[in-house]
Structure 1
């Protein structure tokens, strides 16, 4: 557990946001001997990497998979910190009991999705920055379910996703999990980082030789700032810049956060279901949930809702999520199934004023890797304001490890700007403590 420190009056580098990017930046700065502090609006660290304890289990409300595990720096950090890394294959490639989708239809869906991806890649190779949905085959049976998959991947339908940006994602296909929770891991890795909690930033004044930062806990001056706020928070101008930074705000608006929401449920008679299996509620629409049955072998179901469906359900809160899930699962498993499930935790990232969504996607027309939204976000301002987060990661956007790597990148930029040689420092790999 990270204890909040007092707000200092001045600092070399102020990091805004204690999610994966902010904590990675804080670790890297501290390793270089740079005096730094991380300012966090919430009363906890981790940001959208957040694990809650329910019924004796660590349930991830945000990120839950160590994606691209063979290229993911957090895998080694998790192992060094003695977390339990699980290598059970993900359930995404099959429909439990073949309910609603025969084996042949599952194969057809897989082929249709691969063919769609190939068409997107071809368009991207030709430099076309257009809605990925333009590459649907008109009238194809699987378009709705492919858009439901986009809700999980992007938090938005493919009509809102740039072909260039979608194609730039570099998934290696290797996926692992942390039994104790991904959020628990990220928080443990940040336990030694100096963090001021309950300190939302309202204004950044860059008119003088030092940057003045107004927070709910008071004013702090810094030589440099690393911004790790979600793009929808930046675009919503929750933080005021003096003078304004319209290019930064426009870039953030070009890579808004989509929404992916989770509902964790316990289920009676869980032994009826195969461990780590999945069901899609429906196969003819994007307005459907994905249901991970018995994750880690637990007597639970993790329901996943993306895009417009998630935004709509958030309006009704946990009750709306439960009613939707119960209806879909009852249609598949029988009307009595509704009585077998009980909600234990629901994520509401869209309603969270410090998140305003789950993870970023780039709008059509904003996907150019050199001049698009992500590239513009990552450009330093006056060589003293640096931006980092999953939204600045071109190859691993939407992931905690993408945010982590970007936090380290921004920290190195700040270190160099301060005249410190970043090669003189290294970050320890085993300073996390899963019990801490």
Structure 2
């Protein structure tokens, strides 16, 4: 009999604990295979697997007719795949109001419920939300974590040695992704898992989310197009033109939009909002969202690329590394109660990531594979943007950082810009 794998601690563990102390129901959402249920199980005192084959039919019937029975059990009680029975939302809200205690239920699910009209209560005052993503490099053990993002905000970072990571290793980590189940597999099997993920999305998940039948082949083509435009602010019309070569016919922009919305509902894509700071001069800021997958392995698998392909195409390598870096920054910044934005103005000045905390502090980050010339370019961009910020109306940036793919050391340059390899960053 196989021995169960030991649980690998997640950054979301503390976040879930804090939310359970503050809300009656915590909704843990995120893509399939990212570890939501396993993480929730660590703190749950009882569990209901709504989709368990032996009890699925009875569970769904009770959710409609007598949901209070499903809530019986030690708390926090985990309700897994709750979106299969959306009426549990209102029932849980009523039960929490009746009990008047925090930490009663954990809801986990891989998509938003398909019919929001079935929900009569917003959840305000009773529900809290926690988004999980695939593992960051620090969670999966590939980053030694000697540089803390929190410490960067405090200006308390010293030079440090990074994890010794080659371009080949970095390419593999991009294609493998942060899926917890892949960590115990051979390299070949781990890469295959990412391919299987894309196939599951195309063949089943994108249609299952709302019951609308969608073409698996067109989904694959759309995912490839999305992958080619990672890190860019492109409208649906651009994606449509990219898809026009299909000899079997084209989709309207409205239909493409519906596919993208379905991918968003199952947390496959997670676009980044634009940052709109106070500037000294009136500069038109681009406000379109920036296109990203939730994990770089989805882009690599959609494009049919493996580690060796990335080594042979450093331009694509850089784009997918940026997706990995954004994934990690989102995981780390969530733990600091912040958000990640993208900046670009009409003059072409662009900042890959702006990490903004709830208290108003922010840091500016450029993402580069590595190398002195790329680091210098990134540092100059950061300083140009910092000089444009009107510090009479908002704080100056807490730090400027070039986040690199490879590099032996994390250090602070003479001009104040930090250079930090991704193999030593944590929250």
TM-score range, shorter-chain basis?
under 0.3
Greater strand fraction, Structure 1 or Structure 2: 1
Q: Which has the higher helix share?
A: 2
TM-score (norm. length: structure 2): 0.25
Give TM-score, length-normalised by structure 1: 0.24
Question: Which has the higher relative contact order, 1 or 2, with Cα contacts under 8 A spaced 6 or more apart?
Answer: 1
